[in-house]
């Protein structure tokens, strides 16, 4: 069996079983004593690690490399799905300060995480072209409002406080992508050789062109299947073109999504079609992302110790910096205690997309180390968030 | 107008990418999938203004951007994009099986069997005899000994019988055709797919005997094929049962589940020497005729089939060998005309014998013109088995396929409209 067939077999079986498990998830969860729990992806990453080259090697390295175009498509799809939600008119309907406060809190999170991680890394003998502190500082910003929303749903809660928290989480995701857009080209320019300005310019240009094509093609009324085809074509086109030029498909499609969200009259229908395929795309994507982790490289030069240490430090610093950020905001003029709950939110799917995006562009061992650190941090943050959120949601009621 | 500007833009970008050296060409298939998907789809829509089926537009887009004309898609890129072929064929087969309703088939059974027998016999014998009679004029057979000429004639006969089930089903699907002619074409197409494989297996063994006189008739090849067909149909029925269970009990993300199952079948059926096409036809047939979920099943596939269909036909178009056609165009056209004539005679006789529907008698033949993958597969097998002259014969067959694949959808559309079996006639009636 060739590597591609193997990969198709495994992924199809996994997704098939996943669909059945999803149907009976409540029953399965109740067997283990969990009430409406949602792991939002850990299970798929772990499955990927287990089946990947480092586990049972059912997903071989050759097969994974052959799936790079699928990664590019997945990243593009996720970027677009997230940003299509960012209709600035909707933000205007929110209390005007909310956006500003979130921006301040995100800047504080970014700054504190950057300083603390930099201080820690200065103590370690790390020679790297890659600015870990800067990258991890950006990665600290996204929250996982979906985890909070799911938890609230599980407990049957719909309080105003929780709704505001979810909104704040969405704003955090938005700012994280903006920060990522500005910083990612700077970080990768040293490795890929594509200059910062060129990288940024290409991302905007391809995003703009794709949005223009999508908007023009969706002006006439289209059937759902046609809209699906157009979206697939545009995401394939944008992510393929950007990956070919060595720039991030995630960023390009995020730019496209943001522009479409604020310029297209068919925004809602486009968002609906994108979201319909979001779950399987994400499912597929997380398993492959888990498979990408090359654990054997962690044996070299105490890398396992290093990455685990950085991951734990990152989770801790993220929590601390987010707390300081929202505490500061509440002192400035938003005496809303709910904001202080935000630090407890887990890292989101956007975080994983960003990690894989970096891994695709940075082919060196450092890309792998950062991926491993990020995955570990993601798992830690999710486990931590589950315990704390359960308590917070119950209290908010 | 709204469609035209983005298409020009896409074309300009794709042309730019072709001329400039891009650093990461491993991502080229992702980019070209997007490009060909959008351009082919909108060219397909544009073609409907000239009364062309959308499929013809997709094929023409492939020809236009393919290696023989604009060369935006090179041979290497087409090969990489061919990953979609198996998935598309299996999905089309699933739709075909799902469209086969036992009640309708029973009504048409006599016509279907009659047309099948007459068409296969007349086309096969007619083409073989004509080639035998005029073998001195054909460049492939001109310098060959008589026993080899007979083999070539038989092979041309059997490849002329084969047709493209995918194109037929896609056209029926595009025009949402219903009626006696649609049922007949669908039924004959599916049965013919099995019959052609069997005839080809026999012809292959006979040809080996003729080519190497000491060799005896190799029945194992035929036996294996019969087993493969039987096994494909049984496993397909089992798969249909699984689909019914999923549609009844699980119901979540039906489209994803169906797509994944079909992907698995397309990928693994050839590894186990099973016919993915037959397997999926059997699965679709079981769901349609042995459960209440037939409509839900067809709708779920149709919701996700469009991008796959567009890519499949566009890539098929890009893969058509125009060089072969330019080199042998006069012989290819003669072969195509002969095939058309014999197909018409076969269908007409088949319907007349059982006193079938008048419209089917007149226009039924139009559904049997298109040729693609099955015929191409046969040509490749012939080339491998008889390397001395097989290559030249393959070129001629490919040249004929190119013409048939371009005119086939147009003719079938014409036939369906004349027989008043498309959705718009149902609306008016």
Q: Which domains does chain A have, with CATH numbers?
A: 3-396 (1.20.1530.10)
Least confident span in A335-339, B141-145, B334-338? A335-339
Q: Contacts of residue A9 in chain B, CB cutoff 8 Å?
A: 264, 267-268
Q: Contacts of residue A209 in chain B, CB cutoff 8 Å?
A: 9, 13
What mean pLDDT is predicted for residues B210-225?
72
What mean pLDDT is predicted for residues B146-169?
84
B242 CB within 8 Å of a chain A CB: no
Residue B286: pLDDT over 90: yes
What is the percent of chain A where pLDDT is above 70?
60
Residue A126: pLDDT over 70: no
Choose from A5-19, A255-269, A360-374 the range with maximum mean pLDDT: A255-269
Instruction: Note the pLDDT of residue A268.
Output: 87
Residue A37: pLDDT over 50: no
Q: What is the pTM of this model?
A: 0.81
Choose from A172-186, A199-213, B6-20 the range with maximum mean pLDDT: A199-213
Instruction: Note the pLDDT of residue B257.
Output: 82
Where do the structural domains in chain B lie, given as residue ranges?
Answer: 4-81, 87-312+319-428
Instruction: Note the pLDDT of residue B161.
Output: 85
Residue A151: pLDDT over 80: no
Give the residue with greater pLDDT, A101 vs B60. Answer: B60
Residue A29: pLDDT over 60: no
Q: Tell me the HSE value of B74 on the side-chain side, using a 13 A CA sphere.
A: 9
Per-residue pLDDT reduced to its tens digit, A238-296: 988 888 887 888 889 989 999 998 988 888 888 888 887 776 777 777 777 777 666 65
What mean pLDDT is predicted for residues B87-114?
84
B263 CB within 8 Å of a chain A CB: yes
What mean pLDDT is predicted for residues A369-383?
74
Interface test with A, best of B11, B34, B35, B305 (most A CBs within 10 A): B34
Q: What is the ipTM of this complex?
A: 0.81
What is the percent of chain A where pLDDT is above 90?
7
What mean pLDDT is predicted for residues A74-84?
84
- Cβ of B267 within 8 Å of Cβ of A212? The answer is no
Give the residue with greater pLDDT, B144 vs B40. Answer: B40
Interface test with B, best of A12, A221, A265, A363 (most B CBs within 10 A): A12
Q: What is the mean pLDDT of chain A?
A: 75
Task: Give B107's pLDDT tier (boundaries 50, 70, 90).
Answer: confident
Instruction: Note the pLDDT of residue A196.
Output: 80
**Distance, in angstroms, between B27 CA and closest chain A CA?**
5
Per-residue pLDDT reduced to its tens digit, A101-111: 788 888 988 89
According to CATH, the topology of domain B87-312+319-428 is Na+/H+ antiporter like fold (1.20.1530)
Residue A343: pLDDT over 60: no
Interface test with B, best of A24, A80, A241 (most B CBs within 10 A): A241
Task: Give A174's pLDDT tier (boundaries 50, 70, 90).
Answer: confident
Residue A297: pLDDT over 60: no
Choose from A207-216, B249-258, B316-325 the range with maximum mean pLDDT: A207-216
Instruction: Note the pLDDT of residue B234.
Output: 93
What is the percent of chain B where pLDDT is above 70?
96
A19 CB within 8 Å of a chain B CB: yes
**Contact call for residues B217 and B206 (beta carbons, < 8 A):** yes
Give the residue with greater pLDDT, A158 vs B273. Answer: B273
Q: Contacts of residue A229 in chain B, CB cutoff 8 Å?
A: 37, 41, 306-307, 310
Per-residue pLDDT reduced to its tens digit, B389-415: 777 777 788 778 878 888 888 999 999
Distance from C-alpha of A247 to C-alpha of A250, rounded to nearest angstrom: 9
């Amino acid at each position: 069996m060739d590597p591609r067939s193997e990969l198709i077999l495994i992924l199809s079986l996994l997704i098939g079983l996943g669909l059945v498990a999803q149907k009976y998830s409540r029953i399965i969860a109740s067997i283990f004593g969990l009430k409406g729990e949602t792991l939002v992806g850990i299970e798929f990453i772990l499955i990927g690690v287990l089946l990947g080259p480092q586990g049972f090697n059912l997903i071989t390295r050759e097969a994974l490399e052959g799936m790079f175009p699928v990664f590019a498509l997945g990243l593009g799809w996720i970027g677009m799905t997230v940003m299509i939600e960012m209709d600035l008119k909707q933000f205007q309907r929110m209390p005007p300060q909310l956006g500003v406060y979130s921006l301040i809190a995100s800047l504080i999170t970014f700054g504190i995480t950057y300083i603390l991680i930099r201080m820690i890394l200065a103590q370690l003998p790390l020679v790297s072209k890659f600015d870990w502190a800067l990258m991890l500082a950006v990665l600290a910003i996204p929250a996982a409002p979906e985890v909070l929303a799911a938890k609230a749903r599980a407990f049957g809660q719909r309080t105003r406080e929780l709704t505001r928290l979810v909104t704040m989480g969405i704003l955090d995701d938005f700012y994280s992508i903006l920060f990522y857009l500005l910083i990612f080209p700077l970080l990768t320019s040293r490795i890929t050789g594509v200059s910062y300005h060129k990288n940024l310019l290409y991302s905007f240009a391809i995003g703009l062109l794709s949005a223009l094509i999508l908007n023009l093609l969706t002006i006439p009324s289209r059937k759902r299947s046609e809209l699906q085809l157009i979206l697939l074509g545009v995401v394939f086109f944008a992510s393929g073109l950007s990956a070919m030029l060595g720039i991030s498909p995630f960023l390009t499609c995020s730019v496209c999504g943001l522009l479409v969200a604020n310029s297209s009259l068919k925004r809602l229908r486009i968002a609906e079609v994108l979201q319909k395929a979001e779950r399987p795309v994400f499912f597929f994507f997380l398993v492959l992302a888990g498979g990408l982790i090359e654990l054997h490289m962690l044996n070299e030069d105490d890398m396992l110790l290093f990455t685990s240490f950085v991951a734990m430090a990152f989770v801790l610093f993220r929590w601390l910096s987010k707390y300081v950020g929202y505490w500061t905001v509440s002192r400035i003029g938003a005496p809303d205690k709910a904001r202080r709950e935000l630090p407890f939110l887990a890292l989101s799917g956007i975080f994983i997309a960003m990690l894989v995006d970096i891994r695709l562009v940075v082919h060196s061992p450092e890309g792998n180390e950062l991926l491993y650190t990020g995955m570990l941090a993601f798992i830690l943050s999710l486990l931590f968030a589950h315990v704390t959120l359960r308590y917070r949601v119950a209290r908010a009621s | 107008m709204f469609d035209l500007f983005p298409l020009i833009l896409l074309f300009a970008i794709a042309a730019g990418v072709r001329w400039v050296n891009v650093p990461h060409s491993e991502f080229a298939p992702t980019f070209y999938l997007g490009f060909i998907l959008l351009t082919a789809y909108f060219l397909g829509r544009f073609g409907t203004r000239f009364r062309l089926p959308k499929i013809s537009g997709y094929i023409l887009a492939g020809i236009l951007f393919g290696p023989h004309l604009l060369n935006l898609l090179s041979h290497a890129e087409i090969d990489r994009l061919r990953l979609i072929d198996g998935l598309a064929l299996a999905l089309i087969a699933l739709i075909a099986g799902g469209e086969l309703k036992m009640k309708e088939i029973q009504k048409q059974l006599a016509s279907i069997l009659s047309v099948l027998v007459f068409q296969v016999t007349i086309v096969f014998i007619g083409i073989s005899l004509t080639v035998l009679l005029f073998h001195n004029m054909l460049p492939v057979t001109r310098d060959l000994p008589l026993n080899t000429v007979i083999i070539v004639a038989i092979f041309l006969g059997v490849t002329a019988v084969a047709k493209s089930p995918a194109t037929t089903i896609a056209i029926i699907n595009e025009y949402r055709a219903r009626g006696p002619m649609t049922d007949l074409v669908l039924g004959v197409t599916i049965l013919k797919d099995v019959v052609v494989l069997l005839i080809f297996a026999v012809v292959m063994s006979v040809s080996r005997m003729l080519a190497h006189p000491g060799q005896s008739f190799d029945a194992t090849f035929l036996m294996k094929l019969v087993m493969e067909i039987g096994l494909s149909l049984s496993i397909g029925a089992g798969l249909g049962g699984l689909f019914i269970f999923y549609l009844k009990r699980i119901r979540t993300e039906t489209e994803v589940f169906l797509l994944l199952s079909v992907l698995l079948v397309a990928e693994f059926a050839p590894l186990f020497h099973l016919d993915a096409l037959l397997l999926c036809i059997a699965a679709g047939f079981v769901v349609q005729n042995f459960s209440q979920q037939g409509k839900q099943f067809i709708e779920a596939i149709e919701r996700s089939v469009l991008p796959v269909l567009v890519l499949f036909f566009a890539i098929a178009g890009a893969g058509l060998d125009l060089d072969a056609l330019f080199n042998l165009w006069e012989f290819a056209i003669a072969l195509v005309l002969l095939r058309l004539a014999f197909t018409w005679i076969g269908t007409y006789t088949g319907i007349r014998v059982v006193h079938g529907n008048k419209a089917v008698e007149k226009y039924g033949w139009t559904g049997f013109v298109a040729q693609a993958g099955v015929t191409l597969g046969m040509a490749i097998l012939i080339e491998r088995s008889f390397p001395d002259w097989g290559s030249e014969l393959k070129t001629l067959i490919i040249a004929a396929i190119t013409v048939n694949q371009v005119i086939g959808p147009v003719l079938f559309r014409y036939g369906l409209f004349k027989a008043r079996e498309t959705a718009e006639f149902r609306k008016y009636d």
